[in-house]
Structure 1
Amino acid sequence: MKHIPVTLIVAVKNEEKRLKEFLPSVAAQSFYPAEMIVSDGGSSDGTWAYLINFKGQAPFPVKLLQLFGANIAKSRNEAIGTAKYPVVAITDASCVLDKAWLREITAPFELPEIEVVSGRYIPEANTALQQCTAALTISESPYFTKFLPSGRSVAFTKAAWRKAGGYPQWLNYGEDTYFDLALRKHGCTFVLAPEAVVYWEQRKSIGDLWSQFWCCARGDGQADAFPNSYRYIISIWACMLLSVLGGIFFRPWLLPFIAVVFILISVCLAKRKLPSAGIRVWRWAPVILLVVKTAQTMGFILGTAERVTYCKAPGE
């Protein structure tokens, strides 16, 4: 099978530790990119030196861009704008690529009508916290018609990128979701490449987990993405908060009952998704759900307020 030439795009910032696993997985691909462009948003660690070293050893051309102060959307746009080839593949330095990833995610472009290829990402979960997080927060399958590929595993034509207006540089979070929605809005043809897999390590701490979901929800609020889903989350959390406040002021004896019900629901959900796991994993379920849903609620409310006051409206 003959593959068309492709430009591999990666945006980085302070990724020195992750590059030690990511870059070898790029060099180990069964199909090399015609060129690789890495844009650095202004790293203050050893990222730039690590990239220069990789450039000198890579078995394919590597171009490095330094864009001090650029967010991930601007970094990607600048790299895509300088790409020599009509198809670009996007991934993230926080991942490890399967050896066949680039070959599989570019193969569908042999058909001229294909404009966007969605790849898969599989969670890497070594600790109990990571295993429970993956089970409770990641969709079990991308095989549904409206799957929106993450910037961890996607490829598209430069023509489609231009049609969608590029990544939204006014968004610091959730830029890949907004870009996907713009591609769909402009009628771009999507296909799924199920064998195009990257491995994505889950957050290692509760603080990192909060930051991940708070940032994503804030970006969705700024972009007015998935408002109905967030309204549902907010309404559930509002009911829970009112129940707790009602218990505190009127029926304190109800508080233990409310807590037990929440814990049981959380554990049952975790057991359903991880039936072979034990209490070491399930015990994280109440904490994860509380942290994730609270972060999503607060992040989306803040993002919505920011959109109303200063953000660009979706579609403009």
Structure 2
Amino acid sequence: MELFLLVIFYFFISIVLIQTVYYLFIFGKFSFGKIEKNTPKHIPVSVIVCAKNEEKNIQKYLPLLINQNYHNFEIVIIDDASSDDTRDLIENFQIQHPNLIKLVKVENNEAFWGNKKFALTLGIKAASKEYLLFTDADCYPNSDNWIAEMTSHFTLHKTFVLGYGAYEKEPGFLNKLIRFETLLTAVQYFSWAKIGRPYMGVGRNLAYKKEEFFNVNGFIHHMKLRSGDDDLFINEAAKGHKTTISANPEGFTYSKAKETFGDWIMQKRRHVSTAKHYKSFDKLQLGLFFLSQLLFFILPIPLLAFQFQWIIIVSLIAFRYLITWLSLGYSASKLEEKDVMYWYPILELILILIQINVFIKNIFSKPYTWK
């Protein structure tokens, strides 16, 4: 028994070291780095919005895009075969702003039914500007300078900009859990992008040069997959020397979080289902991070139960929480999510359990389409 506990003891030390590397030396690239604030460039931009049965959100949020403090842009709205009044509403806005709004009409197509990538491809082809900025119909910019902030990070060599797609703060534990998961995900993809290994972005707030889409033939390599128009595309097309991030609050977008656990779990299932199609290195680093999180909670149980080197174990646990709280705390401050850190230990544990549940469910059934 003592030999068994000794093996677990050294294994636990290794897990804490792995977590330290992630939170200090990888995530620390974003957590402890400076937020870049660049001068607006006013380069030609097509803002692309894909909408399916979004009449209420179009009514509320399209004016916020129309009134952006930017001079050289168009809004390409893709109506993906909506069955409500989405198309009529967009056409009314188009009449009022004929030189600003471009409507792309997508009809039901048996081969591409329910495939957002097909609709986005038509929208991208219809875009007349050199740079593309993406958001969703249920999202809204945090400021009138959203376009200016996101596009200010483009340079001659930087042709991908990863932004932050936040969720509105609402009462309730589920909202905190969703925002914590969104925070942790952003810290990961921001940090790896700063290291030079971009692996994903979010379609709620993402920009790239139009030619980059055609350089990889768009979504052709994963068109059959219902999800992944953002993360799988970035995983395939974005290179380290071409990718940068926008973490200035003026460049954030917001949307309403899911209101039930069931809806959120289904959303997570769709997101997780794309991860198995990432590059091998990205699957490895994501898997190692999750496994080290899980084992951090499991391994101390037998050691503390038998009081094996318990002072060292407790010290290692305290050390790990210190560095994670510092790393995530600085990131939460930058991304205006500080309130979730008060619940951090509980949120982290519950999120791990939910991720296990999602992985198991995805083994036995596939999540459905985006709308």
Q: TM-score, normalised by structure 1?
A: 0.72
Q: 1 or 2 for the larger relative contact order (CA 8 Å, sep ≥6)?
A: 2
Distance in 1 of aligned mates of 2:44 and 2:95: 21
User: 1:35 — aligned with what?
Assistant: 74
User: 1:53 — aligned with what?
Assistant: 92
Q: Which amino acid aligns with 2:151?
A: T
Q: Secondary structure at the match of 2:164?
A: strand
User: 1:166 — aligned with what?
Assistant: 218
Identify which of 219, 233, 244 aligns with 1:191: 244
Distance in 1 of aligned mates of 2:118 and 2:76: 14
Identify which of 17, 21, 24 aligns with 2:56: 17
CA positional deviation for 1:29: 1.0
Identify which of 138, 141, 147 aligns with 1:94: 138
Distance 1:64 1:123, change over 3 A: same
Q: Which amino acid aligns with 1:293?
A: I
Q: Secondary structure at the match of 2:238?
A: helix
Distance 1:124 1:31, change over 3 A: same
> For 1:234-274, what per-residue CA distance to the aligned partner results, in whole angstroms no more than 9, with x for missing partners?
89989x9xxxxxxxxxxxxxxxxxxxxxxxxxxx9xxx679
Contact 2:135 2:204 in 1 (8 A): yes
1:125 and 2:125 are equivalent in the alignment: no
Q: Percent identity?
A: 21
User: 1:153 — aligned with what?
Assistant: 205
Distance in 2 of aligned mates of 1:281 and 1:48: 43
| Residue pairs, 1:53-72, within 5 angstroms | 53-58=92-97, 60-68=100-108, 69=113, 71-72=115-116
> For 1:18-51, what per-residue CA distance to the aligned partner results, in whole angstroms no more than 9, with x for missing partners?
2233212212211155322111221122222222
Q: Which amino acid aligns with 1:214?
A: R
Greater helix content? 2
What stretches of structure 1 of length at least 5 have no aligned partner?
241-267, 307-316
Distance in 2 of aligned mates of 1:230 and 1:17: 39
Distance in 2 of aligned mates of 1:135 and 1:107: 27
* Structure 1 stretches of 4+ moved >4 Å: 222-226, 230-238, 272-289
| Residue pairs, 1:205-284, within 5 angstroms | 205-221=260-276, 226-228=282-284, 229-230=286-287
Q: Which amino acid aligns with 2:255?
A: W
User: 2:152 — aligned with what?
Assistant: 107
Q: Which amino acid aligns with 2:165?
A: Y
Q: Which amino acid aligns with 1:174?
A: G
Distance 1:72 1:5, change over 3 A: same
Q: Pairwise CA RMSD of aligned residues?
A: 3.8
User: 1:84 — aligned with what?
Assistant: 128
Contact 2:50 2:77 in 1 (8 A): yes
Distance in 2 of aligned mates of 1:5 and 1:61: 14
User: 1:204 — aligned with what?
Assistant: 259
CA positional deviation for 1:294: 0.9
> For 1:70-98, what per-residue CA distance to the aligned partner results, in whole angstroms no more than 9, with x for missing partners?
51111111111122222111111121113
Distance 1:234 1:50, change over 3 A: farther
Give aligned pairs, total: 275
Q: Which amino acid aligns with 2:210?
A: K
User: 1:175 — aligned with what?
Assistant: 229
Contact 1:175 1:219 in 2 (8 A): no
Distance 1:206 1:188, change over 3 A: same
Q: TM-score, normalised by structure 2?
A: 0.62
Distance in 2 of aligned mates of 1:41 and 1:117: 25
